Amino acid sequence: MEINLEEFKELIRQKGWSLVDLAQKMNIEYSFLYRVINGQRNPGKRFFSGLMLLCVNEGLDFEKYVLFPKSYGKIDDPEGGP
């Protein structure tokens, strides 16, 4: 799971939030948020927990801000083939 930085940065811009405000809303440290947004740190579960909290409190769609890995096989295909 990865953050959809393009959508996330657009959200910040649209809402007019500072990173300090956003970090507080996500219940994470500003420096951690800054590093994630600038590609200096992987998000990890602490970030995604904060993102989920933000989405719940602000009525946002969590899946819009997350990139999920592509599936390489069908769930019912034990071989995982195409």
**Residue given tokens 């995982």 in the structure block:** 80
Q: Which is more confident, 12 or 82?
A: 12
The CATH number of whichever domain residue 43 belongs to comes to 1.10.260.40
% of the chain beyond a pLDDT of 70: 85
* In a domain? residue 7: yes
28: containing domain: 2-64
This prediction has a pTM of 0.80
Which pLDDT tens digit goes with each residue over 38-55? 999 999 999 999 999 999
Please choose, from the candidates 51, 62, 60, 66, the residue with its C-alpha nearest in 3D space to the C-alpha of residue 14. Answer: 60
- Report the range of poorest mean pLDDT among 5-19, 22-36, 41-55, 66-80: 66-80
* In a domain? residue 20: yes
N- to C-terminal Cα separation, the chain = 22
* In a domain? residue 55: yes
At 79, the pLDDT band (50, 70, 90 cuts) reads low
* In a domain? residue 69: no
* In a domain? residue 34: yes
* In a domain? residue 75: no
Q: Which is more confident, 73 or 44?
A: 44
* In a domain? residue 79: no
Number of domains in the chain: 1
Average pLDDT, integer, range 59-78: 75
State residue 16 phi and psi, 5-degree precision.
75, 25
